[in-house]
């Protein structure tokens, strides 16, 4: 990482109180950036944002709604950032079945509000819109999706994110390229890492069962995902944001940030690795899923590899080791300082592997 680029850069992050947003704040802080965050309160209790005391690393910590255009505009105008990362979202497939309209308004209207604000902010030179690997039309054919694959979405989370993708591209073509602000639409796979306490996510279910000596019930035991540690794609987003800042025309567009490998681990294999790390005797049971979720999903990230020299450095066993060990320490540690130090030390591992 080139520390000098990020030093004192003014960076605005939406969704900074979430799982990925919290790691992004810590990563940018470690590089010397000045960060302002704009989100609702953390969704879960516990949550990484409070556990790492992240408020103290921020210039300003807004707790407001991205659906409120005026408040969003005012927050960005007051801070005058040069780079923005948009992560705020209703981020769960299962919640999108229970609350489809809210998912659409937060994800689609919220993203349009962010784009409209970017359009009207002269100081911005680089913008990253975070969508997902689930934007691709998945016919379960076990083929890898590249940036030109057709977009779609069986569930409302996926389709709302695909809509974000399309709207972002329209804003880029219609307005942003003229004002010399680079725009990157980034799609990564399921991220793992310490501090994700979101309901129904496999790692959280595992660590709660193993630490409380309870049995574990998992849905979709045979589903595979491009599992990667959250810090791998985040380093890729930083790399891209820097390139967009320096050359908006060349790097604007959509980018995949997933592991380039043939076989992804199954959910049940992940649970078994976690059980071993926790030295747990909990039994693992397989249940039925309530709603449709895709079984196989894999990304072709050769564009990022070729043009950004980015690739996943920690996947499968190494990403799982870092993740389960973070949670193990979470249960062992007596104070927040130890957890913050552990998180910074994991960040250093990634900064040593990634270059920009």
Ligand X SMILES: NC(=O)c1ccc[n+]([C@@H]2O[C@H](COP(=O)([O-])OP(=O)(O)OC[C@H]3O[C@@H](n4cnc5c(N)ncnc54)[C@H](O)[C@@H]3O)[C@@H](O)[C@H]2O)c1
Nearest-approach distance from CB 63 to ligand X, in angstroms: 8
Residue 284 engages ligand X in binding (rule: CB under 6 A): no
Which burial class, exposed, middle or buried, applies to 16 when counting CB atoms under 10 A from its CB (0-12, 13-18, 19+)? buried
| Run of H or E including 208 | helix 202-211
Which part of the chain contacts ligand X (CB under 6 A), choosing from 28-36, 64-72, 147-155, 343-351? 64-72
- Cα gap 321→286, rounded to integer Å: 23
Q: Which of 10, 30, 40, 149 binds ligand X (CB under 6 A)?
A: 40
Closest Cα to residue 192, out of 184, 182, 204?
Answer: 204
- Neighbour tally for 33: CB within 10 Å: 23
Task: CB nearer to ligand X: give 65 or 200.
Answer: 65
Contact 145, 129 (CB under 8 A): no
Closest Cα to residue 282, out of 191, 228, 205?
Answer: 205
Q: Which of 89, 108, 172, 240 binds ligand X (CB under 6 A)?
A: 89
Q: Which of 19, 210, 278, 315 binds ligand X (CB under 6 A)?
A: 19
Residue 81 engages ligand X in binding (rule: CB under 6 A): no
Task: CB nearer to ligand X: give 3 or 68.
Answer: 68
Task: CB nearer to ligand X: give 165 or 311.
Answer: 165
- Cα gap 222→202, rounded to integer Å: 12
Nearest-approach distance from CB 106 to ligand X, in angstroms: 4
Residues 6 or more apart whose Cβ sits within 8 Å of residue 118: 84, 124, 127, 171, 176, 181, 183
Task: CB nearer to ligand X: give 114 or 280.
Answer: 114
Residue 188 engages ligand X in binding (rule: CB under 6 A): yes
In the stretch 101-140, what mask flags binding to ligand X with x, by CB under 6 A?
-----x---x-------------------x-x--------
Residues 6 or more apart whose Cβ sits within 8 Å of residue 22: 16, 47, 48, 49, 52, 54, 195
Which part of the chain contacts ligand X (CB under 6 A), choosing from 35-43, 143-151, 262-270, 317-325? 35-43
Report residue 333 as tokens: 């540690």
Nearest-approach distance from CB 189 to ligand X, in angstroms: 6
Closest Cα to residue 165, out of 178, 152, 179?
Answer: 152
Q: Which of 5, 43, 50, 353 binds ligand X (CB under 6 A)?
A: 43
Residue 88 engages ligand X in binding (rule: CB under 6 A): yes
Q: Which of 9, 25, 79, 91 binds ligand X (CB under 6 A)?
A: 91
Residue 18 engages ligand X in binding (rule: CB under 6 A): yes
Task: CB nearer to ligand X: give 25 or 31.
Answer: 25
- Cα gap 176→163, rounded to integer Å: 18
Residue 21 engages ligand X in binding (rule: CB under 6 A): yes
In the block, residue with structure tokens 């989370």? 157
Nearest-approach distance from CB 255 to ligand X, in angstroms: 13
- Cα gap 109→104, rounded to integer Å: 7
Nearest-approach distance from CB 207 to ligand X, in angstroms: 16
Nearest-approach distance from CB 88 to ligand X, in angstroms: 4
The one-character DSSP state at 173 is I
Classified as helix, coil or strand, 136 is: strand
Shortest-Cβ-distance residue relative to ligand X: 18
State which of positions 148-187 bind ligand X (CB under 6 A).
Answer: none
Residue 50 engages ligand X in binding (rule: CB under 6 A): no
Contact 314, 232 (CB under 8 A): yes
Q: Which of 191, 241, 299, 339 binds ligand X (CB under 6 A)?
A: 191
To 10 degrees, the CA torsion angle through 148, 150, 155, 160? 60
Which part of the chain contacts ligand X (CB under 6 A), choosing from 62-70, 212-220, 269-277, 334-342? 62-70
Residues at the interface with ligand X (CB under 6 A)? 15, 17-21, 39-40, 43, 65-67, 87-91, 106, 110, 130, 132, 188, 190-191, 198
């Amino acid at each position: 990482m080139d520390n000098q680029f990020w030093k004192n850069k003014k960076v605005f992050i939406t969704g900074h109180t979430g799982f990925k947003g919290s790691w992004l704040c810590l990563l940018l802080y470690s590089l010397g950036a000045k960060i302002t965050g704009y989100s609702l309160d953390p969704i879960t209790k516990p949550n990484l944002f409070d556990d790492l005391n992240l408020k103290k690393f921020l210039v300003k910590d807004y707790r407001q709604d991205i659906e409120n255009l005026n408040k969003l505009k005012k927050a960005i105008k007051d801070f005058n950032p040069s780079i923005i990362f948009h992560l705020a979202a209703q981020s769960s497939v299962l919640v999108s079945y229970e609350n489809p309209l809210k998912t659409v308004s937060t994800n689609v209207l919220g993203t349009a509000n962010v784009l409209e604000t970017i359009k009207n902010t002269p100081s911005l030179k680089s913008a990253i819109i975070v969508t997902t690997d689930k934007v691709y039309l998945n016919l379960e054919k076990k083929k890898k999706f590249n940036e030109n694959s057709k977009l779609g979405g069986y569930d409302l989370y996926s389709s709302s994110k695909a809509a974000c993708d399309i709207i972002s591209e329209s804003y880029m073509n219609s307005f942003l390229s003229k004002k010399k602000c680079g725009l990157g639409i980034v799609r990564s796979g399921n991220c793992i890492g310490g501090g994700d306490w979101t309901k129904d996510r496999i790692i959280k279910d595992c660590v709660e069962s193993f630490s409380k000596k309870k049995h574990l019930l998992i849905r979709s035991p045979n589903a595979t995902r491009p599992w990667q540690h959250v810090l791998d794609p985040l380093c890729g987003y930083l790399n891209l944001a820097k390139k967009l800042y320096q050359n908006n025309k060349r790097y604007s567009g959509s980018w995949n940030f997933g592991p380039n490998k043939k076989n992804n681990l199954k959910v049940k294999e992940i649970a078994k690795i976690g059980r071993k790390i926790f030295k747990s005797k909990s039994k693992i049971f397989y249940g039925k899923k309530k709603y449709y979720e895709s079984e196989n999903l894999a990304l072709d990230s050769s564009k990022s590899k070729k043009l950004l020299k980015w690739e996943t450095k920690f996947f499968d066993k190494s990403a799982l080791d870092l993740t389960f060990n973070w949670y193990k320490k979470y249960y062992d540690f007596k104070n927040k300082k130890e957890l913050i130090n552990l998180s910074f030390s994991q960040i250093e591992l990634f900064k040593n592997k990634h270059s920009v």
